Chains A and B, each alone.
Chain A
């Protein structure tokens, strides 16, 4: 670890640095992992267009396909699907026969908008711990989408709009791909629509969506509106008239998180691994040394240590799926 983040001396690069560096390897394009200002970026091929959209078209990016490897300095580096969002990658670093994997954020649950998590055998594994408590066990996404559809349908029958909050990158597209689009039209916030475009261009099929500002109608009853969580309670929502609102997040597993936000419904849907997912991912790597970053670090460390797996905490500036989320760029300009 260095001041700018996780550093690999053999290859002279940082992984997801939080300060500008010469060479940054990026696991995925969420703001807490991909920061502007570095001279060179390396990321998965599917991540590149998103990274450009977020950090600027002019940045220097080297894109690497999943599974291909590259030698930098004395180390060999390869990227492997993390299942978190489109283009998210685990970074594998081979150095003198010792293999490291930095997983970034990941989930094991199926998600039609990106490639599934791939377990990678290694000696040392860096895992996230956003939801590292046994209270977090995700219901199947089929179950959650059935609930979302039922809520949307009920609102449509009650002549209300349905406003659904989810991160503009990743969660929003997973929601749009997963709902039953035959229930009604889908409108989006600008930040969501920008990402939808990139997903579609990358070949991810999404049902048709319309940027809310360009809607041909003023009547949104029966429609689904997908917006970033920061829009909750904002004046931007006024145009939708009578609506019910809901949030899709792993935190919705806990009643207090939903109630604190004064939203009508909370759907449990996360792009992070739940407790059984974390434990199974760690086990599948076969690693004999585990580093744990952002989230419930202490419980996971103790659990692993009690199970005889050497585990150490790693202080980072990643926030995972924040319990009180705010995205940096939430302007509605599409």
Chain B
């Protein structure tokens, strides 16, 4: 556990990728195999079901540190992180050193917590805290509340594993793809130099697109590119091997049980077929993303949901065919093989020139697509985010000017600053909240807005401050839908602050009606 806490702070303490890779690969070389497996699991964002809810942890930590609940709440507001607050308050108890490994902490302390009642948990937790230093306690608290997170990408983990084992990065990435279960055996299989990759459900790492940052004309000849819509669904890989179908999301989530209609369709494919595509909800046209989320949340969906919200895969690439990895074939060849299969395909657009392509892109919004994808015809299927092969050419976001009305303190690196804002639009002479946004301002702007909020708070509702409606921000967002759950009657996707409109006053902000006018025709009631 000590070594893992040191690893956490080494990674957390550096802003440089090379330092992080070096720290992790050193850990992986030195730690026992089971610990290495857990480290890979957690650093790739793996989560165990949290045995102790945050609220209960707060309660137990406050009690153990002899701090009244109101003071704990004050401390939490200053720190912005529950696990950290608890570890700082507990720091008064004497430190003891333990040699217990990460694996022992997980298997003998964390997992058993789940089946305990509150009294036992309390006893168990206080004992575990007493074994750890303040820093170790912090990491431990993160693990038991299921909030462990550290600033590394999956790619960085794969790189570190490769450095620690001497394997090629793409081999590691492939072995790690999908639902990788941590154990000593799993680590040894991952690190094994001559293992043949055996599990039939093993997906390939996804090829990712770069946002287009220049005029498309700079990409050269239009004929070198395959052009498709960029669908607002979930990137997915479907595998048919050894008589079984596996459906994976790009996030490594196994979705097979939520989409029986897709499993049935792909069951008809020959073994040794792997396709890449977009998972979408579809009924004569693409359904809003929220409908798809509904489907994902429900395993073994009933007939009613299957009828109201059917899903399909828009296939656009072929990774394995007749049991052979075909990723090194160029895109044209892969698509030729793909289009011979009985599947739904993402339609290939045939613009006359780049100007025409730009027009098609503007039309994407009416189809609930996010823009266009541009893929180089003569390219192999890339691993990760290779530049120049796949581009995403997204629509310009919508934008409106809205008034800051509520604010809340942030967490993590923005702890104690007011960084979480609610924005409102005019409905006649009333301001109606329509979106929350957290990102888009510079640190300097955040400080200025924070100072404004401190001096202009009208009322407090728990952590939320009602702010004098004075500051205006340009809010950008991607999509818009009707919503009965929101007072404004609309819900927007990915809202963020595009600019602080210091040149505008609250009266200049937009109206809710002007935003409702942006609702796509297809889903107007």
| Interface: B70 (CB within 8 A) | yes
| Interface: A265 (CB within 8 A) | yes
User: Which A258-281 residues have C-beta < 8 A from chain B?
Assistant: 259-260, 262, 264-265
Q: Which of A134, A137, A253, A262 contacts B71 (CB 8 A)?
A: A134
Binary CB contact string for chain A from 290 to 330 against chain B (1 if under 8 A, 0 otherwise):
00000010110011001000000000000000011000000
Residues of chain B within 8 A (CB-CB) of A134 are 65, 67, 71, 75, 89, 92
Q: How far is the CA of A217 from the CA of B59 in the complex (A)?
A: 57
Residues of chain B within 8 A (CB-CB) of A306 are 68
Q: Which of A135, A137, A256, A323 contacts B412 (CB 8 A)?
A: A256
Q: How far is the CA of A260 from the CA of B75 in the complex (A)?
A: 18
Nearest CB of B to A292, in Å: 14
Count of chain B residues with Cβ under 8 Å from any Cβ of A?
30
**Is the pair B443, A135 in contact by a Cβ cutoff of 8 Å?**
no
Residues of chain B within 8 A (CB-CB) of A259 are 12, 412-413
Binary CB contact string for chain B from 71 to 99 against chain A (1 if under 8 A, 0 otherwise):
10011001111001100110110000000
Which of B12, B13, B78 has the largest number of chain A CB atoms within 10 A?
Answer: B78
Interface residues on A, range: 20 to 34
| Interface: A257 (CB within 8 A) | yes
Known: A133-B75, A260-B414. A255 touches B447 (CB 8 A): no
User: Which A112-127 residues have C-beta < 8 A from chain B?
Assistant: none
| Interface: A254 (CB within 8 A) | yes
Known: A259-B413, A298-B74. A135 touches B88 (CB 8 A): yes
Residues of chain B within 8 A (CB-CB) of A133 are 71, 74-75, 78
**Is the pair A137, B15 in contact by a Cβ cutoff of 8 Å?**
no
Q: How far is the CA of A302 from the CA of B74 in the complex (A)?
A: 11
Q: Which of B75, B91, B413, B447 contacts A256 (CB 8 A)?
A: B413
The chain A residue sitting closest to B85, CB to CB, is A135
Known: A260-B414, A296-B74. A135 touches B13 (CB 8 A): no
The chain B residue sitting closest to A323, CB to CB, is B416
The chain A residue sitting closest to B415, CB to CB, is A256
Known: A135-B85, A324-B447. A254 touches B78 (CB 8 A): yes
Q: Which of B13, B70, B79, B84 contacts A264 (CB 8 A)?
A: B13
Q: Which of A255, A264, A299 contacts B74 (CB 8 A)?
A: A299
Q: How far is the CA of A254 from the CA of B84 in the complex (A)?
A: 8
**Is the pair B70, A253 in contact by a Cβ cutoff of 8 Å?**
no
Q: Which of B15, B79, B447 contacts A135 (CB 8 A)?
A: B79
Residues of chain B within 8 A (CB-CB) of A255 are 12, 79, 81, 84, 412-413
| Interface: B322 (CB within 8 A) | no
Nearest CB of A to B139, in Å: 12
Residues of chain A within 8 A (CB-CB) of B85 are 135
Q: How far is the CA of A262 from the CA of B413 in the complex (A)?
A: 9
Residues of chain A within 8 A (CB-CB) of B411 are 256
User: Which B381-426 residues have C-beta < 8 A from chain A?
Assistant: 411-417
**Is the pair B79, A254 in contact by a Cβ cutoff of 8 Å?**
yes
Known: A137-B91, A264-B14. A256 touches B74 (CB 8 A): no
Nearest CB of B to A320, in Å: 14
Q: How far is the CA of A286 from the CA of B14 in the complex (A)?
A: 46
Residues of chain A within 8 A (CB-CB) of B12 are 255, 259
Nearest CB of A to B494, in Å: 23
Residues of chain B within 8 A (CB-CB) of A260 are 413-415, 417, 443
**Is the pair A254, B15 in contact by a Cβ cutoff of 8 Å?**
no
Q: How far is the CA of A112 from the CA of B46 in the complex (A)?
A: 48
Nearest CB of B to A275, in Å: 10
Residues of chain B within 8 A (CB-CB) of A256 are 79-81, 411-416
Q: Which of B13, B67, B447 contacts A265 (CB 8 A)?
A: B13
**Is the pair B413, A135 in contact by a Cβ cutoff of 8 Å?**
no
Q: How far is the CA of A334 from the CA of B416 in the complex (A)?
A: 36
Binary CB contact string for chain A from 115 to 149 against chain B (1 if under 8 A, 0 otherwise):
00000000000000000011101000000000000
**Is the pair A262, B15 in contact by a Cβ cutoff of 8 Å?**
yes
Q: How far is the CA of A265 from the CA of B19 in the complex (A)?
A: 14
Nearest CB of A to B40, in Å: 23
Q: How far is the CA of A265 from the CA of B9 in the complex (A)?
A: 10
Residues of chain B within 8 A (CB-CB) of A135 are 75, 78-79, 85, 88-89
Q: How far is the CA of A255 from the CA of B78 in the complex (A)?
A: 11
Binary CB contact string for chain A from 30 to 58 against chain B (1 if under 8 A, 0 otherwise):
00000000000000000000000000000
Residues of chain B within 8 A (CB-CB) of A299 are 71, 74
**Is the pair B88, A253 in contact by a Cβ cutoff of 8 Å?**
yes
Nearest CB of B to A60, in Å: 35
User: Which B33-74 residues have C-beta < 8 A from chain A?
Assistant: 65, 67-68, 70-71, 74
Known: A262-B15, A264-B13, A265-B13. A254 touches B70 (CB 8 A): no
**Is the pair B71, A303 in contact by a Cβ cutoff of 8 Å?**
yes
Binary CB contact string for chain B from 9 to 43 against chain A (1 if under 8 A, 0 otherwise):
00011110000000000000000000000000000
The chain A residue sitting closest to B9, CB to CB, is A255
Residues of chain B within 8 A (CB-CB) of A296 are 74, 78
Residues of chain B within 8 A (CB-CB) of A302 are 70-71
Residues of chain A within 8 A (CB-CB) of B417 are 260
Residues of chain B within 8 A (CB-CB) of A265 are 13
Q: How far is the CA of A256 from the CA of B79 in the complex (A)?
A: 7
Q: How far is the CA of A255 from the CA of B81 in the complex (A)?
A: 9
Residues of chain B within 8 A (CB-CB) of A264 are 13-15
Q: How far is the CA of A257 from the CA of B443 in the complex (A)?
A: 12
Residues of chain B within 8 A (CB-CB) of A324 are 447
Residues of chain A within 8 A (CB-CB) of B84 are 254-255
- Known pairs A254-B79, A256-B81, A324-B447; list 7 more (Cβ under 8 Å): A255-B81, A256-B414, A260-B414, A260-B415, A260-B417, A264-B13, A264-B15
What are 28 contact pairs spanning A and B, CB under 8 A? A133-B71, A133-B74, A133-B78, A134-B65, A134-B71, A134-B75, A134-B92, A135-B75, A135-B79, A135-B85, A135-B88, A135-B89, A137-B88, A137-B91, A137-B92, A253-B88, A254-B88, A255-B79, A255-B81, A255-B412, A256-B80, A256-B81, A256-B412, A259-B412, A260-B414, A260-B443, A299-B71, A302-B71
Question: Which residues on B are within 8 Å of A, measured CB to CB?
Answer: 12-15, 65, 67-68, 70-71, 74-75, 78-81, 84-85, 88-89, 91-92, 411-417, 443, 447
Question: Which residues on A are within 8 Å of B, measured CB to CB?
Answer: 133-135, 137, 253-257, 259-260, 262, 264-265, 296, 298-299, 302-303, 306, 323-324
